[in-house]
Structure 1
Amino acid sequence: MILAAGCVLWRPAPSGQGVEIALVHRPKYGDWSHPKGKLKSGESIEECAVREVQEETGHSCALGPRLPTARYLANGRPKVVTYWSARALGGSFTPSTEVDRMAWLPPEEARSRLTQPRDRELLDAMLTSTS
């Protein structure tokens, strides 16, 4: 089984109205998703989530409420991804071979850009947990 963690990363919208959601684009898969990645040896699931946000978005974050856990097959192997809502604390994005683009979007735009339906469910859960 593959164990992983990630976050629905958010920040207050610059307008002062609502929030913006960070999405990452992975060129290997051609998809838009929430930042996430595999657990390293000796790392807690929370440490993994924070590290993956930092690595994929360049932003530090504060974990908030736990969100639903995603379970699916990845290349024929079961994968379990634990998610949190996380507030961005600052940083800047630098493109890499793993993540070549990042976008801060209002929730409805994020919803339409997300590739996987399970990621839309996480977005809904995050919005419910912070309202």
Structure 2
Amino acid sequence: MRAAGCVLWRRAPDGCTVEVCLVHRPKYDDFSFPKGKLKRREEPLAAAVREVLEETGHHCAPGPRLPTARYLVDGRPKVVDYWAAEATGGAFRANDEVDRVLWLTPDAARDRLTQPRDRDQLTALLDALPEPLRDA
């Protein structure tokens, strides 16, 4: 199974730090990054950007590629390609897949992520941010 997603971020209101977007999926009662399955013949980056818009209501500017997640779902291998992506505008509306989004500091996001494996993408995002934002 192939999927793609983004670690969506934005500058915090202070302009010096960042906030990371987590989505809550009621079906699984988990907090994760926006992601979803690729459609037939869809490129992973296009799928990641589409999933961000569908799940968060935000447009984004994709940045560096982040580590790929590999794990089993019901005994079947799943591969999720990730990118860092800066939010460029939009607004969230609850939908069938996602009932809320949280914009959190990186430390708070790390604590709230349901799956420990998602922390690898968060760490990679922080490493990829411009220097002034990296230590925020």
When normalised by structure 1's length, the TM-score is 0.97
After the TM superposition, list the runs of 4 or more consecutive aligned residues in structure 1 that deviate by more than 3 angstroms: none
Q: Deviations over 1:13-48 (max 9, x none)?
A: 111121000000000101000000000012111100
Amino acid of the residue matched to residue 68 of structure 1? P
Q: Which residue of 2 aligns with 1:61?
A: 60
Determine the C-alpha separation between the residues in 2 that align with 1:3 and 1:72. Answer: 11
Partner of 1:90: 89
Q: Is the partner of 1:17 in helix, strand or coil?
A: coil
Paired residue type of 1:34: F
Q: Percent identity?
A: 65
- TM-score normalised according to structure 2 size: 0.93
SS in 1 for 2:22: strand
The separation in 2 between residues aligned to 1:61 and 1:103, in whole angstroms, is: 16
| Offset, 1:75 | 1.6
**Matched residues in 1 for 2:73 and 2:84: separation?**
23
1:4 partner letter: A
C-alpha RMSD of the superposition: 0.7
- What pairs with 1:1-131 in structure 2 (closer than 5 Å)? 2-130=1-129, 131=134
Give the number of aligned pairs: 130
The one-character-per-residue Cα deviations of 1:73-128 (angstroms, maximum 9, x if unpaired) are 01211000000000000000000121001011111111110001111111011000
Q: Which runs of 5+ in 1 are unaligned?
A: none
